[in-house]
Amino acid sequence: MQENVKGIKEAYIWGAAVYGLAALEYCKDKFKIVGFIDKRADLQFKEFCGLPVISPLSFLCHEDRNNRIAIIAVRYPAEVIQLAYESSDRSNISFYIFDAMLCKENPLLYQVKNGEICIPEYMDKHFLEWKEYSEHYSKLNPFILEMFRTALKWITKYEKDIEICELGCGSGQFANMLFDYGYKNYVGIDFSNQAIEFAKRANPHYVDRFICEDAFSYLRRDKKEENTLFFLFEVLEHMNRDIELFEMLPLGSTVIFSVPNFKSFNHIRTYENLETIKSRYQRLDIFEYLLLSASQQYANKCYHLVAAVKI
Protein backbone atom coordinates (compact mmCIF):
# COMPACT_ATOMS: atom_id res chain seq x y z
CA MET A 1 0.00 0.00 0.00
CA GLN A 2 1.50 3.30 -1.09
CA GLU A 3 1.33 6.03 1.56
CA ASN A 4 1.44 9.76 0.90
CA VAL A 5 4.13 10.97 3.30
CA LYS A 6 5.20 13.96 1.24
CA GLY A 7 6.34 16.83 3.41
CA ILE A 8 6.40 14.82 6.66
CA LYS A 9 9.75 15.36 8.35
CA GLU A 10 9.52 12.92 11.24
CA ALA A 11 7.19 10.47 12.93
CA TYR A 12 6.37 9.14 16.37
CA ILE A 13 4.90 5.72 17.05
CA TRP A 14 2.22 5.99 19.71
CA GLY A 15 2.55 2.80 21.68
CA ALA A 16 5.71 0.82 22.40
CA ALA A 17 6.21 -2.86 23.29
CA VAL A 18 5.31 -5.65 20.81
CA TYR A 19 3.10 -3.70 18.41
CA GLY A 20 5.36 -0.67 18.56
CA LEU A 21 8.25 -2.86 17.45
CA ALA A 22 6.16 -4.25 14.57
CA ALA A 23 5.22 -0.72 13.52
CA LEU A 24 8.85 0.38 13.65
CA GLU A 25 9.96 -2.47 11.38
CA TYR A 26 7.16 -1.80 8.90
CA CYS A 27 7.30 2.00 8.87
CA LYS A 28 11.01 2.76 9.11
CA ASP A 29 11.39 2.91 5.33
CA LYS A 30 8.35 5.16 4.94
CA PHE A 31 9.00 7.64 7.76
CA LYS A 32 11.89 8.96 9.77
CA ILE A 33 10.94 7.49 13.15
CA VAL A 34 12.28 9.73 15.92
CA GLY A 35 10.70 8.16 18.99
CA PHE A 36 7.78 6.55 20.76
CA ILE A 37 4.90 8.08 22.73
CA ASP A 38 3.66 5.92 25.58
CA LYS A 39 1.91 6.57 28.89
CA ARG A 40 4.42 4.22 30.54
CA ALA A 41 7.31 6.54 29.70
CA ASP A 42 9.59 7.17 32.70
CA LEU A 43 7.66 4.56 34.69
CA GLN A 44 8.81 1.44 32.84
CA PHE A 45 11.33 2.71 30.29
CA LYS A 46 12.86 5.85 28.83
CA GLU A 47 13.83 4.34 25.51
CA PHE A 48 12.73 1.53 23.26
CA CYS A 49 14.67 0.05 20.33
CA GLY A 50 17.29 2.73 20.85
CA LEU A 51 14.76 5.56 20.47
CA PRO A 52 13.45 7.90 23.19
CA VAL A 53 10.06 7.26 24.76
CA ILE A 54 8.08 10.32 25.85
CA SER A 55 4.77 10.59 27.65
CA PRO A 56 1.58 11.85 25.94
CA LEU A 57 1.68 14.92 28.20
CA SER A 58 5.22 15.73 27.12
CA PHE A 59 4.18 15.49 23.50
CA LEU A 60 1.06 17.63 23.96
CA CYS A 61 3.01 20.31 25.81
CA HIS A 62 5.58 20.58 23.03
CA GLU A 63 4.68 23.85 21.34
CA ASP A 64 7.65 24.30 19.00
CA ARG A 65 6.34 22.23 16.12
CA ASN A 66 7.11 23.94 12.83
CA ASN A 67 7.54 20.82 10.70
CA ARG A 68 4.89 18.34 9.63
CA ILE A 69 5.01 15.17 11.70
CA ALA A 70 3.16 11.89 11.69
CA ILE A 71 1.70 9.99 14.60
CA ILE A 72 1.38 6.26 13.97
CA ALA A 73 -1.05 4.70 16.44
CA VAL A 74 -0.75 1.02 17.24
CA ARG A 75 -3.18 0.63 20.19
CA TYR A 76 -6.59 2.23 20.82
CA PRO A 77 -6.21 4.77 17.99
CA ALA A 78 -9.42 6.60 18.92
CA GLU A 79 -7.84 7.60 22.24
CA VAL A 80 -4.66 8.64 20.47
CA ILE A 81 -6.49 10.89 18.06
CA GLN A 82 -8.59 12.43 20.81
CA LEU A 83 -5.56 13.16 22.98
CA ALA A 84 -3.50 14.53 20.13
CA TYR A 85 -6.37 16.77 19.06
CA GLU A 86 -6.03 18.50 22.42
CA SER A 87 -2.67 19.79 21.26
CA SER A 88 -2.73 23.52 20.61
CA ASP A 89 -0.71 22.95 17.43
CA ARG A 90 -2.13 20.02 15.51
CA SER A 91 -2.25 21.61 12.04
CA ASN A 92 1.07 19.96 11.19
CA ILE A 93 0.13 16.54 12.56
CA SER A 94 -0.94 13.68 10.27
CA PHE A 95 -2.48 10.64 11.94
CA TYR A 96 -1.88 7.10 10.78
CA ILE A 97 -3.05 3.75 12.08
CA PHE A 98 -0.93 0.62 12.03
CA ASP A 99 -2.97 -2.54 12.44
CA ALA A 100 -1.21 -5.85 12.97
CA MET A 101 -3.04 -7.07 16.05
CA LEU A 102 -4.36 -10.31 14.59
CA CYS A 103 -1.82 -11.00 11.86
CA LYS A 104 1.64 -9.45 12.08
CA GLU A 105 2.50 -10.92 8.66
CA ASN A 106 -0.24 -8.86 6.99
CA PRO A 107 -0.17 -5.38 8.57
CA LEU A 108 -2.13 -2.39 7.31
CA LEU A 109 -0.96 1.21 7.49
CA TYR A 110 -3.41 3.96 6.56
CA GLN A 111 -3.99 7.65 7.15
CA VAL A 112 -6.90 8.84 9.26
CA LYS A 113 -9.09 11.35 7.46
CA ASN A 114 -11.97 13.28 9.04
CA GLY A 115 -11.36 11.37 12.25
CA GLU A 116 -12.72 8.11 10.80
CA ILE A 117 -10.82 5.08 12.03
CA CYS A 118 -12.78 2.39 10.19
CA ILE A 119 -12.26 2.52 6.44
CA PRO A 120 -13.19 -0.12 3.83
CA GLU A 121 -9.62 -1.44 3.53
CA TYR A 122 -9.40 -1.93 7.29
CA MET A 123 -12.74 -3.71 7.45
CA ASP A 124 -11.88 -5.91 4.44
CA LYS A 125 -8.79 -7.07 6.33
CA HIS A 126 -10.83 -7.55 9.50
CA PHE A 127 -13.40 -9.78 7.77
CA LEU A 128 -10.71 -11.88 6.10
CA GLU A 129 -8.77 -12.50 9.32
CA TRP A 130 -11.63 -13.39 11.66
CA LYS A 131 -12.93 -16.88 10.92
CA GLU A 132 -16.25 -16.30 12.74
CA TYR A 133 -17.45 -13.96 10.00
CA SER A 134 -17.59 -16.81 7.48
CA GLU A 135 -19.50 -19.19 9.75
CA HIS A 136 -23.23 -19.83 10.03
CA TYR A 137 -24.97 -17.68 12.62
CA SER A 138 -25.66 -20.75 14.79
CA LYS A 139 -21.90 -20.97 15.45
CA LEU A 140 -21.52 -17.36 16.52
CA ASN A 141 -20.19 -16.22 19.86
CA PRO A 142 -23.10 -17.03 22.24
CA PHE A 143 -23.30 -13.41 23.36
CA ILE A 144 -23.77 -12.17 19.79
CA LEU A 145 -26.25 -14.95 19.09
CA GLU A 146 -28.29 -13.93 22.13
CA MET A 147 -28.32 -10.36 20.83
CA PHE A 148 -29.63 -11.48 17.45
CA ARG A 149 -32.29 -13.70 19.01
CA THR A 150 -33.48 -10.90 21.27
CA ALA A 151 -33.72 -8.48 18.35
CA LEU A 152 -35.67 -11.09 16.40
CA LYS A 153 -38.04 -11.51 19.36
CA TRP A 154 -38.62 -7.75 19.46
CA ILE A 155 -39.84 -7.65 15.85
CA THR A 156 -42.38 -10.48 16.04
CA LYS A 157 -45.15 -7.85 16.36
CA TYR A 158 -44.46 -6.73 12.79
CA GLU A 159 -45.75 -8.39 9.62
CA LYS A 160 -43.24 -10.64 7.89
CA ASP A 161 -43.23 -8.39 4.81
CA ILE A 162 -42.07 -5.29 6.69
CA GLU A 163 -39.26 -3.45 4.90
CA ILE A 164 -35.97 -4.10 6.70
CA CYS A 165 -32.73 -2.21 6.12
CA GLU A 166 -29.57 -3.31 7.93
CA LEU A 167 -26.84 -0.67 7.87
CA GLY A 168 -23.44 -2.27 8.43
CA CYS A 169 -24.77 -5.73 7.60
CA GLY A 170 -21.30 -7.29 7.78
CA SER A 171 -21.10 -10.87 6.54
CA GLY A 172 -24.87 -11.36 6.48
CA GLN A 173 -25.31 -13.57 9.51
CA PHE A 174 -28.24 -11.65 10.99
CA ALA A 175 -29.77 -11.44 7.51
CA ASN A 176 -29.46 -15.24 7.29
CA MET A 177 -31.42 -15.54 10.53
CA LEU A 178 -34.10 -13.13 9.28
CA PHE A 179 -34.54 -15.08 6.05
CA ASP A 180 -34.82 -18.34 8.01
CA TYR A 181 -37.64 -16.83 10.08
CA GLY A 182 -39.55 -15.56 7.06
CA TYR A 183 -38.50 -11.91 6.88
CA LYS A 184 -37.69 -11.62 3.16
CA ASN A 185 -38.16 -7.89 2.44
CA TYR A 186 -34.60 -7.08 3.38
CA VAL A 187 -31.64 -5.05 2.13
CA GLY A 188 -28.16 -5.10 3.70
CA ILE A 189 -25.64 -2.28 3.26
CA ASP A 190 -21.92 -2.36 4.04
CA PHE A 191 -18.94 -0.42 2.72
CA SER A 192 -16.67 -3.45 2.96
CA ASN A 193 -16.53 -5.38 -0.28
CA GLN A 194 -15.28 -8.44 1.60
CA ALA A 195 -18.23 -8.30 3.99
CA ILE A 196 -20.68 -8.18 1.09
CA GLU A 197 -18.95 -11.13 -0.59
CA PHE A 198 -19.33 -13.16 2.61
CA ALA A 199 -22.97 -12.04 2.95
CA LYS A 200 -23.77 -13.24 -0.56
CA ARG A 201 -22.10 -16.60 0.07
CA ALA A 202 -24.07 -17.01 3.31
CA ASN A 203 -27.33 -16.15 1.54
CA PRO A 204 -27.04 -17.57 -2.00
CA HIS A 205 -30.77 -17.18 -2.73
CA TYR A 206 -30.70 -13.47 -1.82
CA VAL A 207 -27.49 -12.17 -3.36
CA ASP A 208 -29.30 -9.18 -4.85
CA ARG A 209 -30.25 -7.98 -1.35
CA PHE A 210 -26.68 -6.97 -0.41
CA ILE A 211 -25.13 -3.71 -1.59
CA CYS A 212 -21.54 -2.52 -1.16
CA GLU A 213 -21.97 1.17 -0.36
CA ASP A 214 -21.51 3.49 2.58
CA ALA A 215 -24.67 4.12 4.60
CA PHE A 216 -24.75 7.87 3.95
CA SER A 217 -24.68 7.66 0.18
CA TYR A 218 -27.22 4.82 0.23
CA LEU A 219 -29.70 6.74 2.38
CA ARG A 220 -29.32 9.82 0.18
CA ARG A 221 -29.95 7.71 -2.90
CA ASP A 222 -32.72 5.47 -1.62
CA LYS A 223 -35.23 7.40 0.49
CA LYS A 224 -36.90 5.12 3.00
CA GLU A 225 -40.47 5.28 4.31
CA GLU A 226 -41.36 5.75 7.98
CA ASN A 227 -42.49 2.14 8.29
CA THR A 228 -38.96 0.88 7.53
CA LEU A 229 -37.26 -1.15 10.24
CA PHE A 230 -33.53 -0.38 10.57
CA PHE A 231 -30.86 -2.50 12.22
CA LEU A 232 -27.33 -1.40 13.19
CA PHE A 233 -25.36 -3.99 15.14
CA GLU A 234 -21.95 -2.82 16.40
CA VAL A 235 -21.79 0.09 13.96
CA LEU A 236 -22.26 3.38 15.77
CA GLU A 237 -19.21 3.13 18.04
CA HIS A 238 -17.00 3.09 14.93
CA MET A 239 -18.38 6.30 13.43
CA ASN A 240 -17.74 9.99 13.95
CA ARG A 241 -20.94 10.83 12.08
CA ASP A 242 -23.31 8.61 14.04
CA ILE A 243 -25.70 11.42 14.97
CA GLU A 244 -25.79 12.58 11.35
CA LEU A 245 -26.70 9.04 10.31
CA PHE A 246 -29.70 9.01 12.64
CA GLU A 247 -30.77 12.39 11.27
CA MET A 248 -31.05 10.78 7.84
CA LEU A 249 -33.54 8.13 9.00
CA PRO A 250 -37.20 8.95 8.31
CA LEU A 251 -39.35 10.26 11.14
CA GLY A 252 -41.39 7.51 12.75
CA SER A 253 -39.08 4.71 11.61
CA THR A 254 -37.99 2.04 14.08
CA VAL A 255 -34.30 1.37 14.67
CA ILE A 256 -32.75 -1.48 16.64
CA PHE A 257 -29.07 -1.11 17.42
CA SER A 258 -26.33 -2.34 19.71
CA VAL A 259 -23.38 -0.45 21.20
CA PRO A 260 -20.62 -1.53 23.63
CA ASN A 261 -19.51 -0.24 27.02
CA PHE A 262 -15.88 -1.34 26.49
CA LYS A 263 -12.84 -0.13 24.57
CA SER A 264 -11.48 -1.84 21.50
CA PHE A 265 -8.97 -1.08 18.77
CA ASN A 266 -11.51 0.65 16.54
CA HIS A 267 -14.07 2.01 19.03
CA ILE A 268 -14.31 5.78 18.74
CA ARG A 269 -16.50 5.91 21.83
CA THR A 270 -18.06 3.67 24.47
CA TYR A 271 -21.50 3.85 26.09
CA GLU A 272 -21.50 3.53 29.85
CA ASN A 273 -25.22 3.05 30.40
CA LEU A 274 -28.70 3.75 29.04
CA GLU A 275 -28.53 7.39 30.11
CA THR A 276 -25.37 7.84 28.05
CA ILE A 277 -27.24 6.54 25.01
CA LYS A 278 -30.29 8.75 25.64
CA SER A 279 -28.09 11.80 26.06
CA ARG A 280 -26.26 11.23 22.79
CA TYR A 281 -29.24 10.21 20.66
CA GLN A 282 -31.91 12.67 21.70
CA ARG A 283 -33.96 12.18 18.53
CA LEU A 284 -34.73 8.59 19.54
CA ASP A 285 -37.66 7.51 21.71
CA ILE A 286 -36.41 4.29 23.29
CA PHE A 287 -39.06 1.65 23.99
CA GLU A 288 -36.96 -1.51 24.49
CA TYR A 289 -33.61 -1.97 26.20
CA LEU A 290 -31.51 -4.90 27.32
CA LEU A 291 -28.00 -5.08 28.79
CA LEU A 292 -26.20 -8.15 27.46
CA SER A 293 -22.92 -9.66 28.57
CA ALA A 294 -20.16 -9.51 25.95
CA SER A 295 -17.60 -11.78 27.60
CA GLN A 296 -17.56 -14.77 29.90
CA GLN A 297 -14.08 -13.82 31.03
CA TYR A 298 -14.75 -10.12 31.72
CA ALA A 299 -18.03 -9.57 33.54
CA ASN A 300 -17.92 -5.80 33.09
CA LYS A 301 -17.89 -6.01 29.28
CA CYS A 302 -21.41 -5.52 27.97
CA TYR A 303 -23.51 -4.65 24.94
CA HIS A 304 -26.50 -2.33 25.09
CA LEU A 305 -29.31 -3.53 22.82
CA VAL A 306 -31.78 -0.76 22.07
CA ALA A 307 -35.04 -0.39 20.13
CA ALA A 308 -36.30 3.11 19.45
CA VAL A 309 -38.46 5.27 17.21
CA LYS A 310 -36.97 8.25 15.37
CA ILE A 311 -38.80 11.40 16.55
DSSP state of 204: G
Strands 93-99 and 254-260: unpaired
Rounded CA-CA distance 30/26 in Å is: 8
Predicted confidence at residue 103, as pLDDT, reads: 62
Rounded CA-CA distance 207/212 in Å is: 12
Question: Residue 175 in contact with residue 169, Cβ under 8 Å?
Answer: yes
Going by C-alpha positions, the residue among 176, 177, 184 that lies closest to residue 153 is 177
Q: Which helix (H) or strand (E) holds 214?
A: none
Does residue 92 or residue 178 have the better pLDDT?
178
User: Domains of the chain by range and CATH?
Assistant: 8-115 (3.40.50.720), 133-310 (3.40.50.150)
Q: For residue 212, is pLDDT > 80?
A: yes
Query: How much of the chain, in percent, has pLDDT values that exceed 90?
Result: 65
Instruction: Give the model confidence (pLDDT) of 263-299 as tens digits.
Output: 888 888 999 999 999 999 999 999 999 999 987 777 7
Band of the pLDDT at 63, cuts 50, 70, 90? low
Predicted confidence at residue 225, as pLDDT, reads: 87
Of 7-11, 34-38, 175-179, 228-232, give the lowest mean pLDDT range: 7-11
Cβ neighbours, 10 Å, residue 307 = 21
pTM of the model as a whole:
0.88
Predicted confidence at residue 136, as pLDDT, reads: 94
Q: End-to-end distance of the chain based on CA atoms, in angstroms?
A: 44
Contacts of 109 (CB under 8 A, 6+ apart): 1, 3, 26, 27, 30, 72, 96, 97, 98, 99
Rounded CA-CA distance 64/53 in Å is: 18
Question: Residue 228 in contact with residue 164, Cβ under 8 Å?
Answer: yes
Three-state secondary structure call for residue 247: helix
Three-state secondary structure call for residue 268: coil
